[in-house]
Amino acid sequence: MTTSEGYGLSEEYQDLSDTVREFADEVVAPVSAKHDEEHSFPYEVVKQMGEMGLFGLPFPEEYGGMGGDYFALALALEQLGRVDQSVAITLEAGVSLGAMPVYRFGTEEQKQQWLPMLASAQALAGFGLTEPEAGSDAGGTKTRARLNNGEWLINGNKEFITNSGTDITRLVTVTAVTGESTRADGSVKKEISTILVPTDTEGFTAEKAYNKVGWNASDTHPLTLKDVRVPEANLLGEQGRGYANFLSILDEGRIAIAALATGAAQGCVDESVRYAKQRFAFGNNIGSYQAIQFKIARMAARAHTARLAYYDAAARMLAGKPFKTEAAMAKMVAGEAAMDNARDATQVFGGYGFINEFTVSRHYRDSKILEVGEGTTEVQLMLIARELGL
């Protein structure tokens, strides 16, 4: 992460941010309300994002990527998150949860097979971690995989899996119990591994999509794996290291989610400023009234604070320094900023803020999941408290 002054962006980063901002305003925003209302996946937008190289931002050119870094991805997510969180989370999950595990832990053969198509958005991938009784608590994982004649035989269920059922989804990485051991105290420790499952594998089913409160244009399904068989070589990383590897992926992902949430928070500021200047009441535009001015000023402060938090976490990560705690802080602060700003923006808009075609109403529905997904606020607080020695 190269900066000029303080957290000012270098020319390269600024050009990327400006380019994605223009794309978000001119291509994404005009169709956002339509896809939200129809609960339809924005294939045409994703295709253009792939052509721009957004899905390949943090990957080397040898795998079809753009040769950038994770901060470049975060900047793109912030700009997309301003206008459409569904599009932003499609990119975030496609890269940090779908492709990144293959890049971080895959064999050279696995990378060559999957990354070029994922980096170009010719295909999407998902990560199957969450289950009906296992989310933050991986000890509850019930999906099991065992070796049988050179193949993994997998049975289980997954829930809330993003990008798992689109027409271009080609891969889901699943966590599964591949063995057990007994601790000194007699308790059982599950050995959790990650396995690559192509979506055309017999026995793999993406069930009916969820009817969600928000992120309506994002693809999310429960998954059923019934006697799914994949080659032994589809193991991703070392056997038994699946959950540990995924925790590191989540640490990075929290920076990405924080960037998306910062974009949502900033989008609420932008929309509120615009509306406050053009909406008249009692003979003046409402932006001339101190009650509205102070509300929007607080919103701007929240967005600014969230941005500084994720910039700092990203800088630590790219410098090779510990960043787990800072990523947790950034994710928590930004998620709360998005939710608080969405509530206040809806108040500024009055009745129009309750109409779905307006961006702020979608942010109001969309932003709540930013306090839940990829680690709840309570999980972030737990991580921060541990670092404090509590």
Rounded to the nearest 10°, the torsion over CA 372, 75, 81, 329 is: 30
- To which residue do tokens 């997904």 refer? 373
Report how far Cα 141 is from the mean position of its chain's Cα atoms: 22
How many Å apart are CA 156 and CA 228, to the nearest integer? Answer: 9
CA 338, 366, 26, 122 torsion-angle sign:
positive
- Largest Cα span, the chain: 79
CB atoms within 10 A of CB 374: 25
Nearest partner of 311 among 334, 341, 337, judged by Cα? 334
How many Å apart are CA 87 and CA 267, to the nearest integer? Answer: 14
On whether the CB atoms of residues 99 and 59 are closer than 8 A, the answer is yes
Report how far Cα 238 is from the mean position of its chain's Cα atoms: 25
How many Å apart are CA 319 and CA 175, to the nearest integer? Answer: 30
How many Å apart are CA 291 and CA 374, to the nearest integer? Answer: 35
Query: 289: which DSSP letter?
Result: S
Contacts of 302 by beta carbon, 8 Å cutoff, 6+ apart: 265, 336, 337, 340, 341
CB atoms within 10 A of CB 135: 18
Number of H helices, E strands in the chain: 12, 10
How many Å apart are CA 173 and CA 370, to the nearest integer? Answer: 22
Considering 78, 252, 271, 374, which one is annotated as catalytic? 374
Nearest partner of 94 among 163, 166, 158, judged by Cα? 163
Nearest partner of 97 among 294, 266, 239, 236, judged by Cα? 236
191 annotated active-site = no
Q: Would you please indicate which residues are annotated as catalytic (active-site) residues?
A: 374
